[in-house]
Structure 1
């Protein structure tokens, strides 16, 4: 679900918006003069998204290397990297 609030709401209802971000794990989009201006989100959700983006970037880089004919990693290496990535994401959820 997408939450959209006017920018004045952050000044008037900071605690309410903060609680909404924490409860839903979703960002709140703030508008100014009817146009998108800022996005506010819980720090735990932000850290989790950043971890997922890093993982996706790494996966894309590996796929690009594979397509270019570069030698890949062993199954054990990949399994180890995946365990680290999953741990990062789960640790982000626990904060």
Structure 2
């Protein structure tokens, strides 16, 4: 009868190392996904209130596409900047 002497061999150590990395990788990934699910998810503004930079960029894009003329662009830009306390 052969007895096991406690030596796992090279493949045993390799399997143990890979299992260790996969186990802790799964734990860390789970923690990150959980934190993102309950957190803000990187959103800086409320859904209904975009920041001043976002609104100005959208207005500039509409002006560049030709949807609004220069007078309407400057008038709306003035209103946006007054609303956010800029001059």
Larger Rg: 2
- Bucket of the pairwise TM-score, normalised by the shorter protein: 0.3 to 0.5
TM-score normalised over the length of structure 1: 0.35
TM-score normalised over the length of structure 2: 0.37
Bigger proportion of residues as strand: 1
